[in-house]
Structures are given as C-alpha cells and as structure tokens.
C-alpha cells in the first residue's frame, strides 16, 4: 500500500536531446515562498543577500515582486526564520518541479510559448511569466541554459510542449 502513495515525477527522468537543445528534469530541491512587507526584516531572517529588484537573483533566491521571493536550495535545507517573526516562509517544494532547457538553441525552444524578449533576458535573472498559458518562473542561468519552474500539475503539459518545440528545430 505504501508503494501506491510514493510521489512520482510528472515528466520522464531521462533527458531528451535534439540538435542544439536538451530538455531535462532537474533534481528535486527545496523551495520556499518568502513574503514580507519589510524586506529588511526578511533580509535579517535569512542572513542577508536578499535581492531587491524584481527579476534579480542572489544565492538561489529570486525576487518575484515587491514583497515576494522564491528560494531554491538543495533538498533538505531547513526553512529560514523562526516562529513569530513578521515574515511568511512556506515550503512549496512539492508544489512544483524544475525543467532545464539548455543548448545553443534553448532560446528558440522557449520563444514560441513565452512573451519575453529572451535574447535580452539577462543571465542571472528570473521572472514569473507564462509559457503556453501556464504560469512559470523562468530563470536564465547562462547564455545557453534556462530553468523552468512549473507547478507539478502543469509539468507534463509544459514538458510536452518543450520537447515538441525542440524536436521541430
């Protein structure tokens, strides 16, 4: 019975490779949604390094809005903060998965389903956006590597669109 309750990933574990593009499931990681009206307080809670500009990243933390951040850290990393502090830290690790899109043609794979100007999307930045009508967080880790954070319930659809796009290059 316990086997039936074990979490499975909504997309294949094996990467899919095409000429100039690779789509792969990222390893599991811990994710925390961080909210605070006073960024300085949250900065003290996490020990500094909180990015302030929307879209900027620092040490695995992405600023998604004026009072919202997404922290992506290795699995098993404890949540920051202590009870009673005026910040909200919510573990959203199981809510979403990360899909890497990399290669010389990664921008082309993503371009069809995303409205951002990906050629000018800065390395080291991340934004909440849409892909084929699905809300995602898109992170540009290098010139040729992006990570798509997507809710688990939409992951199979997004994976399928990414693979189809890559196969048509």
Domain boundaries, given as residue ranges, for the chain: 16-28+94-167, 29-91
For the chain (169 residues), the mean pLDDT of every run of 10, in chain order, is 65 93 95 91 87 95 95 90 75 95 98 94 97 98 98 96 95
- Coil vs helix vs strand at 135: strand
Nearest to 118 by CA among 100, 141, 134, 140: 140
Q: What pLDDT does residue 161 have?
A: 97
Query: What's the pLDDT at 47?
Result: 85
pLDDT of the residue at 1 = 47
Q: What is the pLDDT of residue 16?
A: 96
pLDDT of amino acid 79: 84
Return d(Cα 105, Cα 99) in angstroms, integer. Answer: 16
From 5, 6, 14, select the one nearest 99 (Cα to Cα): 14
For the CA atoms of 43, 44, 45, 48, the dihedral, rounded to the nearest 10 degrees, stands at 50
The CATH homologous superfamily of the domain defined by 16-28+94-167: Probable tRNA modification gtpase trme; domain 1 (3.30.1360.120)
Rg (Cα) of the chain, in Å, rounded?
17
The three-point CA angle 139-144-150 to 5° equals 30
Q: What is the secondary structure of 55-84 as a DSSP string?
A: TBEETTEEEEETTEEEEEEETTPPPSS-TT
- Euclidean distance between CA atoms 134 and 157, whole angstroms: 9
Candidates 75, 74, 88, 93; CA nearest to 45 is 88
């Amino acid at each position: 019975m316990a086997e039936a309750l074990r979490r499975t990933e909504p997309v294949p574990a094996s990467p899919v490779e095409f000429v100039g593009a690779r789509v792969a499931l990222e390893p599991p990681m811990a994710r925390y949604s961080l909210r605070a009206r006073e960024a300085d307080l949250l900065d003290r809670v996490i020990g500094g390094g909180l990015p302030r500009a929307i879209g900027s990243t620092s040490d695995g933390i992405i600023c998604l809005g004026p009072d919202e951040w997404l922290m992506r850290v290795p699995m098993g990393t404890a949540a920051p903060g202590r009870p009673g502090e005026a910040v909200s830290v919510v573990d959203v690790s199981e809510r979403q998965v990360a899909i890497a899109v990399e290669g010389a043609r990664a921008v082309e794979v993503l371009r069809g389903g995303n409205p951002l100007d990906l050629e000018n999307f800065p390395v080291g930045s991340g934004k909440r956006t849409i892909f084929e009508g699905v809300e995602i967080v898109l992170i540009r880790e290098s010139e040729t590597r992006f990570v798509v954070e997507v809710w688990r319930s939409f992951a199979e659809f997004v994976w399928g669109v990414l693979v189809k796009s890559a196969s048509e290059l």
